[in-house]
Structure 1
Amino acid sequence: MMDALPAAQQPLTRLNIFATKGVQMRTFHLTWLTFFFCFFGWFGIAPLMPLVREQLHLDKGQIGNIVIASVSATILARLIVGKLCDTLGPRLTYSLLLVVGAVPVLLIGLSNSYEVFLLFRLAIGIIGASFVITQFHTSMMFAPKVVGTANAVAGGWGNLGGGIANMVMPLVAAGFVSLGYVDQANSWRLAMVVPGVVLLVMAGLYYKYTQDTPRGNYGDIERDTAQKSKGTFLLALRDYRTWVLALAYGACFGIEITIDNVAAVYFVDHFGASLVLAGMLAGVFGFMNIFARGLGGWVSDVVGRRAGMRGKWLLLSGLLILEGIGIALFALAPSLPLAIAAMLGFALFLKMANGCTYSIVPFVNKQALGSVSGVVGAGGNLGAMLVGFLFKSASISYSTAFLYIGIGVGAVGGLVLLIRLIRKELGETAPEAPLTLAGA
């Protein structure tokens, strides 16, 4: 059936990141760029937390609660958004999410107490559901043999927004101060208006210039009604591989967004770095997404073509184990230069594991791609929420928390390996086999 369609209406069989023609590549570039700004808005306040902490008189426990809140709402949002992608389509779902998510980003600057700030930070977390739509949409636009690479590149370039936010938001705040619009203590309030406005602009662009599938939008094409009646969410939940990937994603992406939240504060408090320097160092961690996540997806695709799905799973477990070792070394680093070196090392394996995880997702259940993406994505945020409790404890230092995280991540890598060794790969789509994706 796919072969009968014109080439312009079929998923692409190769990824040329410099191409812009065709709905597939137009959607690819718009979806990663939109995700970039979603991440920018999601973590825009993170490098400004030292200012917020001082002005709102926050203690360590309250900051820990804020870190937890920032990733908690995303769990439910990703589950809902995954289902909406299967029903409404990614174009409309993304546009609605951007409009709704922009509101708390724009308004968080009105916070004058810990409780109000906490509620706004919780609400901003729904923007993190944008990742599920990005992965779903690129999966619709690319053929199975390159879908892992396409998903990883789009996800990695989007995740880059968190790193750029750490670098840029302190400069944006300082810029408003230098222009005389606000004093330094209140500069974080005005700075957060910038990403909020950008999200609204991206909502309009996404709605106008993308479509759900290469063939058209859900409302304009004939879809498999039998598939819709099955209940894609239940299909996803009944597959044990969905849960294994959710666990793995909690150990890589969950740790990534935790680092995005606490790195600047850690470098200020533990090593005495300035606000701008701490933001830059935290930004370096996020900036590695420009290549590392894409590298993970590409390597996974190569391994999949040579060793099948078993090879993809073995690669994922190995990356998680190496990530855990790197985080432990970061926690034990006695100086800032050694901490930076360790951070670069574990960041590489972490972000490659992110890409590897979502190179497997499209092959788990072809009839419930959106729901599988949502559950796995929610697993990432659940992991972040759980480790967030380590950073609010008055009896555990940040460095000790990182050590515990490193041990836990390594254990998850070993568990993924063990599960895949004892379970048979029944009914698993081969990497080269065509997928019948929703709406295609």
Structure 2
Amino acid sequence: MFSPVWINAMSTSKLNLLDFSNKSVATLHLTWFAFFMTFVMWFSLPPLKPLIMQSVQMTPQQWAALLTLNVALTIPARIVVGSLVDKFGPRNIYSALLILSSIVLIAFASAQTFEQLALFRFMLGFVGAGFVIGIRLVSEWFPARQVGLAEGIYGGWGNFGAAAAGFTLPFLAIHVFGGVDGWRYAMSAAGILAAVYGVIFYVFARNTPKGSTYFKPKKSGGLEVSSKKDFWFYVALNVPMYLILAVLAWKMSPANLKLLSATTTNILYVVLIALFVFQFSQIYRVNKDMLKNGVPEHDKYEFKQVAILSWAYLACFGSELAVVSVLPAFFMDTFKGLSISQAAMLGGSFAFMNLVARPGGGWVSDKLGRRFSMSVIFGGIAIGYVLLSQINSNWPLALAFAAVFICSLFVQAGCGSVFAVVPLIKRRMTGQISGMAGAYGNVGGLAFLTINTFVNIHTFFYVLAGAAALAFIFIQFLKEPKGHTVEVNEDGTLQKIEVA
């Protein structure tokens, strides 16, 4: 028997972002700003580089290690947080993440030695998992016809927290607080603001509209899959996440940055193997009944959907992370006479497009269909990176910037289109699916940056184009969300959830 679907319905397909009396819109604004604050904390490190290095007397190798540690924990954290969100609800987890991360940020700002800085920066990588929390929350408040746009606004506007950190924290450190410890007060101020907002979020946010059910996974610790083939596919999809963490350990080993001893590096490799074995045991525990007895027809979904979206996010968000890191130096090397600030602005413009292009990608997906929109967008990404690979010193600077602008539009729209599909696969596991796709974004960023150390910049852009082209091919096998998915209420009745 099917029970009625409760949705905080909107009478039209239009989304009025200024209608704060609409609880869905109010929740969207609450949520994107929570994500915004997590990115302010997470990206508080790079813009304060000269002040921190001078204050703590750090070497370039130590700074490189801090940047690596800043993202190391984010990959597994997105998987863990996704599972926690599905089990305990986004309201609790977002509030807790904001408050606990603010404590770690303030501890980092108070650190006196490199070892302390390294420890707290490693721990702060957990805040990068905040993104997946809001994906589940926003999907609970918006119907399928609007979820792409809503998720795009959430992701695009929240991502701007990284740019806000770059704009505001150096100004606060130098012109407001001043002195050798100005960076410490600026970071601490960001931490205090995040903690306060964590309390505000808990007071005003709700997991679902009134009358709606918050569906939870049957078991926690791993995704539930629908077949033996999908079980092994899921296990295999976890392998690259551990491989890229091994690459991070190698980066700090005696063979690279020389910040870890050979013994410590080998211990980390063993720990990663042990963690993979533990995760396998959890995945088996969650799915052992399915392996023996199968699952009801109404509860099945195709895991290939998750794999395709994960690769697609690797190709768009992963490439964005890498490109933002290399573009300033690329512009300075290519166009002689360009100042550091000019190159930084040109490079930063790539991420700036998040404000409009990511919501745009979600909106197009809502209007024109998920698979078709992703096909067009990822084809555009591949062409865009091929275009960037052709830039040389003979190009007018304005034309080079236009090429970056066009490529960025497609890349950010790609991010929006991916998460226009993620919430429509299996409602009760949206957090975990978001965590998997989000983690692959970080895997891509680290993998592309590692590849960049071995090839020239033009080959690097060809690699990014190749990743996008593969995503384009995989997307042709994506199943367009149609009709309804089904979840089971506590009383055993079935509830249809519209996904088209």
Question: For the superposition of Structure 1 and Structure 2, which TM-score range results when normalised by the shorter chain?
Answer: 0.7 to 0.9
Q: Which residue of 2 aligns with 1:357?
A: 418
Q: Which residue of 1 aligns with 2:473?
A: 418
- Provide the C-alpha distance between the structure 1 equivalents of 2:201 and 2:32, rounded to a whole number of angstroms: 11
Q: Do the aligned partners of 1:331 and 1:403 also contact (CA within 8 Å) in 2?
A: no
Q: Distance in 1 between matches of 2:125 and 2:384?
A: 25
Q: Which of 382, 386, 389 is equivalent to 2:443?
A: 382
Instruction: Report the CA distance between 1:377 and its aligned residue.
Output: 0.6
Report the CA distance between 1:75 and its aligned residue: 0.9
Post-superposition CA distance 1:19-70 (Å, at most 9, x none): 1114322211100111111111111221222443455565555444333322
Matched residues in 2 for 1:314 and 1:247: separation?
13
Residues 303-330 of structure 1: CA deviation (Å, up to 9, x unaligned): 20xxxx4313413421331342355356
Match of 2:295 in 1: none
Give me the identity figure in percent: 29
Residue identity matched to 2:71: V
CA 325–67 in structure 1, closer or farther in 2 if over 3 Å, else same? farther
| Gap change, CA 1:343 and 1:152, over 3 Å in 2 | same
Match of 2:179 in 1: 182
Partner of 2:310: 246
CA shift at 1:257, angstroms?
Answer: 3.4
Counterparts of 1:424 and 1:380, CA distance in 2: 18
SS of 1:368's partner is helix
Question: Is this contact kept in 2: 1:263–1:282, CA < 8 A?
Answer: yes
**What does 1:47-196 align with in structure 2 at a 5 Å threshold?**
47-54=47-54, 56=56, 61-176=61-176, 181-183=178-180, 186-196=181-191
Measured after TM superposition, the shift of residue 365 of structure 1 is 3.2
Distance 1:32 1:320 in 2: 25
CA displacement 1:387-408 (0-9 Å, x = unmatched)? 34356x5x77xxx3x5444222
The 5 A counterparts of 1:228-377 are 228-229=218-219, 233-235=223-225, 237=234, 239-259=303-323, 280-281=345-346, 283-304=348-369, 309-329=370-390, 340-377=401-438
Where 1:105 maps in the other structure, the secondary structure is helix
**Structure 1 residue 429 corresponds to structure 2 residue 481:** yes
**Over residues 205-264 of structure 1, what are the superposed CA-to-partner deviations in whole Å (9 max), with x where a residue is unaligned?**
110001001136xxxx76657x52497613394712212211221222123334555667
Residue 199 of structure 2 corresponds to residue 204 of structure 1: yes
Answer yes or no: is the 8 Å Cα contact 1:312–1:360 preserved in 2: no
Question: Could you say which residue in structure 1 is the equivalent of 2:29?
Answer: 29
Q: In 2, Cα distance between the equivalents of 1:333 and 1:437? A: 58
Q: Is the 8 A contact 1:173 1:188 kept in 2?
A: yes
SS in 2 for 1:228: coil
Task: Quote the Cα distance in structure 2 between the aligned partners of 1:424 and 1:24.
Answer: 29
Report deviation, 1:298.
1.1
How far is the alpha carbon of 1:340 from its aligned partner? 4.2
Q: CA deviation at 1:100?
A: 1.6
Q: Which residue of 1 aligns with 2:493?
A: none
More helix by share: 1
**171 and 327 in structure 1: CA distance in 2 versus 1, 3 angstrom threshold:** farther
Instruction: Give, in whole Å, the separation in 2 of the partners of 1:356 and 1:15.
Output: 17
Q: Which has the higher contact order (CA 8 A, sep 6+)?
A: 1
Q: Which of these two proteins has the greater Rg computed from alpha carbons?
A: 2
The one-letter code of the counterpart of 2:46 is A
1:77–1:230 distance in 2 versus 1, CA, 3 Å: closer
For residues 66-113 of structure 1, what are the alpha-carbon distances to aligned partners after superposition, in whole Å with 9 as ceiling and x for unaligned? Answer: 333222211111111111121101100111111121122222223444
Q: Which residue of 2 aligns with 1:406?
A: 461
Greater CA drift, 315-324 or 80-89: 315-324
Alpha-carbon offset, residue 144 of structure 1? 0.6
TM-score by length of 1: 0.81
Q: Are residues 22 and 437 of structure 1, via their aligned partners in 2, closer, same or farther at CA, if it must alter by over 3 Å?
A: farther
Measured on the aligned residues, the alpha-carbon RMSD in Å equals: 3.5
C-alpha distance 165-260 of structure 1, shift in aligned 2 (>3 A):
farther
What CA deviation, in whole Å up to 9, does each residue of 1:244-288 have, x standing for no partner? 211221222123334555667777898777776666555544332
Aligned counterpart, 2:242: none
The question of whether the paired residues in 2 share the 8 Å contact of 1:325 and 1:410 is answered with: yes
Unpaired stretches in structure 1, ≥5 consecutive residues: none
Is residue 156–residue 291 contact of structure 1 (8 Å, CA) maintained in 2?
yes
Counterparts of 2:112 and 2:175, CA distance in 1: 22
> Which deviates more from structure 2 when the two are superposed, residues 126-135 or residues 161-170?
161-170
TM-aligned CA deviation for residue 132 of structure 1? 0.5
Change (3 A) 1:409 1:12: farther
User: Counterpart amino acid of 1:319?
Assistant: G
What is the CA distance between 1:14 and its match in structure 2?
Answer: 4.3
Instruction: Report the secondary structure of 1:413's partner residue.
Output: helix
Paired with 1:103 and 1:91, the residues of 2 have a C-alpha distance of 19
Q: Which amino acid aligns with 2:380?
A: L
Q: Which amino acid aligns with 1:206?
A: F
Match of 1:160, SS?
helix
Q: How many residues align?
A: 414
Residues 326 and 86 (structure 1), Cα distance of their counterparts in 2 relative to 1, 3 Å cut: farther
